[in-house]
Amino acid sequence: MLPELNQVHVDQMPAGESPRHKSHLRVVPPPPPSPPTVTRPEKARPRSKIARLLDTVARNEHGYDPAAYDLEFTRQVADKGWKVFGPGRYFDTHARGFENIPKDRPVMMVSNHSGGTIAPDVWGLGLEWYRHFGFSRPLYILAHEMIFTLPFFARQFEKIGALRASQDVARRIVESGRDVLVYPGGDRDVWRPYSKRWKVDFYGRTGFSKLAKEMDMPIVPVAHAGSHEGMRVLTDGQSIAEAVGLKRICRVQIWPIALMLPWGLALGPLPHLPPPGRYRYLIGESITPNRDPGTVALDAQHAVQRQLTQLEREG
């Protein structure tokens, strides 16, 4: 791009076996609600200076723990979201290919990223997931750490399953038997120029494929088209970001210049008001991560590109 998670777990596991053991990775229905426990994985910490500073000042520990997921809150958000996302709605949303998602084990959904800072593509896919599976199968989403810097919003995001993108947080999700959605292209992908809206590039990132291989977790490629039509990104401003050192300061590699509402000409990754549009998702066949992570990452990127090209041809 969700009452408190419900300590997720992998059950029925022989004594002495790690939850990472591939034969025991499976989808687990959510147990009854329990009080939230906000814990940060030992190695997980913000990588940008601003996020570390703001988290320290606010004593913000939100965005790390899958147990913060709130089922009832997620239902409420989805009920509101379906009023604007769905067939014939403000965002005319259609998704195909859910039959390609294994029913008996968790998966890693890997998608291209579009639509700028408010990421309407993430909301659309998440809502289609719950429309198809219901709420017995929570979907976790890995997101940029900067959206968690304000504790109030960080708490709301973690309640719907959006957590900070890091290897440690992702591993904790996977070990608990949950599905996870990742956007390897990150900020560079979501702010790519309008002229490249039909191109998929994960920029050589392999963290997702390393984890999928380690956990023997199927990768399901997802292509999205539509949300990048709601603005016109003229340039991603990568050279500006590099000159200013934004990667070190706030872990972003872009400073886009775009035409979008309500700003007109916008400088920087500002939120915008997307106009009505048609949002399409094509879910492909799962990929078994049984080769080296670099090859698996390319396989996933090429699969998403083929599906996006199919959406382009369909118009």
Backbone angles phi, psi at 89, to 5 degrees: -90, -175
Instruction: Give the model's pLDDT for residue 73.
Output: 97
Burial 260-279 (b: 16+ CB within 10 A, else e): beeeeebebbeebebeebeb
Q: Are 252 and 189 in contact (CB under 8 A)?
A: no
Spell out where the chain has E strands: 85-86, 91-96, 108-111, 139-143, 162-164, 179-182, 219-225, 232-235, 257-260, 264-267, 277-283
Q: Is 241 left (phi over 0), alpha (psi -120 to 50) or beta?
A: alpha
User: Options 3.30.70, 1.20.950, 1.10.3470, 3.40.1130; which CATH number does 44-314 get?
Assistant: 3.40.1130
pLDDT value at residue 147: 82
Is-contact 8 178, C-beta < 8 A?
yes
Domain boundaries, the chain: 44-314
Cα–Cα distance, 124 to 281 (Å, whole number): 9
Model-level pTM greater than 0.85?
Answer: no
Confidence of residue 46 (pLDDT cuts 50, 70, 90): low
pLDDT (tens digit per residue) in 91-124: 999 999 999 999 999 999 999 999 999 999 999 9
List pLDDT tens digits, range 15-44: 444 444 444 455 555 544 443 444 555 545
